[in-house]
Structure 1
């Protein structure tokens, strides 16, 4: 039988009953009697001890433990919380030819987020491209192309503002949260290392910041090969990794893999999935709910080389809040993908 923590009222009653029975007293305990006061004082202390025991009971098992204890349990299995990474990218400025913008010059976004230039840059033909890195690590440092930045300390001969270049400022990732660390720890406990089993490659890839889902394809490139594909679900720009992130994951797996395996690490090839839908009622709120459900379905079910079932598409539309009826015009059948291709949300045409 599971242990049930007694309430404060139950503890008061128990202690009061113990006093009266051991002192052979009869009748009700008076409110201002010594027994009543002692019972409440002792019960209060016991209640706090029970609370501490209840807290400790949750820390014993990693599926319930809190951050400090979760991290300690993870270290027993060689796992550590993935740290935050710094967003980086290019910004463009205008100015007088020959002016040098020094390394370490600070720029800031309208919300106060700051960036530093990585190296000296010289204005040529009236403009210069500056490589910048966020001062504080985390997802908040990411910025879309075209976002305006302002020099904290003006640079003589250079415009006061800069614009984020086409490639955007990317790759800023927050520190791994408890749920993600907990998930990796439970996977490690349930599936111990087997010297290069499929789940080993998944675990190795997930040790890199930002990696959320991983797929392993043995022998895809021939005998003795292992192909690993992964995505970054929490990346605000795209879940599909760029070359730098692919190389980072590859380098990490190379250091861990069995010596006999030839490893290929690739980003899935995006395959935009467009929809044509007639929905009732055709309100903006219902349409937004349908889009949210479709995006969520793709996050759950899309995988490289996988199939998106039309029945699941229809189900996602049906469970959208406010939807009464709908007709799915397109796609008209299950959507299959080739090797390495992975469905991503494209667009919805409301008909």
Structure 2
């Protein structure tokens, strides 16, 4: 908006207002008096441009984005704590029950026992919020003495921890709510309800899936992978804990079934030509990272995994000059995805 209000343009306009016949050359008294003012005004226009951008949802960021969309009731999702499954054993390899609240360390992070799921099996919650708590395996070290405890181990990630919602995700939620209003128990309302639960990364809604007044909500976790039974249960309890009775978010009469998406494993193999100075293993790691980013983008957004896109990702991998013989699950065709499936990349095999 103010791109033309540069220091040079401002100074020239100011000098044009000085009567002819007076010395306006660089170094003159008039020039030296006007130049600092022009510089300050140019800086003012720059700051005014930034300030204007802070009052519109498509350009605002940080606190200003939150304040700009506050009228809608949307709020930034705070960082969430990871929840892990764990088992504990005696020296005789028998399941051991531990006191709730017992604290354990795993690497540099601490976890506490939040709920007993079965004999010797517990749900642990990270003491620190954020995705850093998403450790899938490892031995647990007790912080306090627990009688009879010989060892403890992580069995899986139940609910992924999440970092605070980034600006772009919050902005997209705002645009989605404006373009697809969630109201009166429509399908977008169910999507919104599901994603209010910490750890849910996406939802797809199937109205009338098993007859009148039935609704199926299929979810993925924050990593866009199939959700754990615990996360499914939490969403079910929030939306419709007593089917049809309206005791959750769903209206009276709606019978809601919450389920996890299923994973479609896709193995990738190809022969590559490497650029000089590159080793195969780092290239495989870089390619795998690109596949993971692509997988998250396509969860619940694509009906197939495109072989041509995978080939483009391979060519965009640093160190790859060319490739041949690209195969997905042993074939050369695209991999179709059902509406309830999300892609999971399995073995990534590159040969030279």
| Normalised-by-shorter TM-score class | 0.7 to 0.9
How many equivalent residue pairs?
332
Q: CA offset at residue 80 of structure 1?
A: 1.0
Question: Aligned with 1:135: secondary structure?
Answer: strand
Listed as ranges, the matches of 1:1-351 within 5 Å are 2-4=1-3, 6-18=5-17, 20-21=18-19, 24-29=20-25, 31=27, 33=29, 35-89=30-84, 90=86, 92=88, 104=101, 106-111=103-108, 113-118=109-114, 132-149=124-141, 151=143, 154-155=144-145, 163-167=152-156, 170-234=159-223, 239-254=225-240, 255-281=248-274, 283-303=280-300, 306-321=303-318, 322-329=320-327, 330-337=330-337, 340-350=340-350
Q: CA offset at residue 337 of structure 1?
A: 4.6
Question: Aligned with 1:324: secondary structure?
Answer: strand
1:107 to 1:342, Cα distance in 2 relative to 1, 3 A: closer
1:298 to 1:323, Cα distance in 2 relative to 1, 3 A: farther
1:29 to 1:147, Cα distance in 2 relative to 1, 3 A: farther
Q: CA offset at residue 36 of structure 1?
A: 3.4
Q: CA offset at residue 308 of structure 1?
A: 3.1
Question: Aligned with 1:347: secondary structure?
Answer: strand
The answer as to whether partners of 1:93 and 1:129 remain within 8 angstroms in 2 is no
TM-score, normalised to structure 1's length? 0.77
Question: Aligned with 1:53: secondary structure?
Answer: helix
2:243 is matched with none
1:173 to 1:38, Cα distance in 2 relative to 1, 3 A: same
1:144 to 1:212, Cα distance in 2 relative to 1, 3 A: closer
Residues 231-260 of structure 1: per-residue CA shift (max 9 Å, x gap): 23437xxx2211222233334444444445
Question: Aligned with 2:129: secondary structure?
Answer: coil
Structure 1 unaligned blocks of 5 or more: none
Partners of 1:203 and 1:5 lie apart in 2 by 43
TM-score, normalised to structure 2's length? 0.77
